[in-house]
Amino acid sequence: MAEKNKTLSFNEIRTNKIIAIAKDFRENENLSYGDASKKADIIDSYLYGGNFKRGNKYKGNDKLILKHLPKSRIEKKQTSILNN
């Protein structure tokens, strides 16, 4: 019997994306498993998780995290008039 392709749930897709990002960090950026997982969890939080639901935007300057977030999820840096 031919087996039908199972449609992945949103949570399975989300988990697969976290795993893929963490694996990319471990292989290409030479991060430890723990550091890669933490960064992947932060990205997930701003894409789909609690920070996304609350409307929070990423305020940090970690280049690896910024690379994976769309511009709409990153807070724009406001420069003061006094800094000019």
Sorted by where each begins, the domain ranges of the chain are 12-74
Q: What percent of the chain has pLDDT over 70?
A: 89
Percent of the residues in the chain that have a pLDDT greater than 90, as a whole number: 77
Positive or negative torsion for Cα 65, 70, 71, 76: negative
The one-letter amino acid at 59:
K
* pLDDT higher than threshold 90 for residue 77: no
Using the predicted structure, report yes or no on whether residue 74 has a pLDDT greater than 60: yes
Across 59-73, average pLDDT? 92
pTM listed for this prediction: 0.80
Rounded distance, CA 59 to CA 23, Å? 24
Opening angle at CA 17, ends 9 and 21, nearest 5: 170
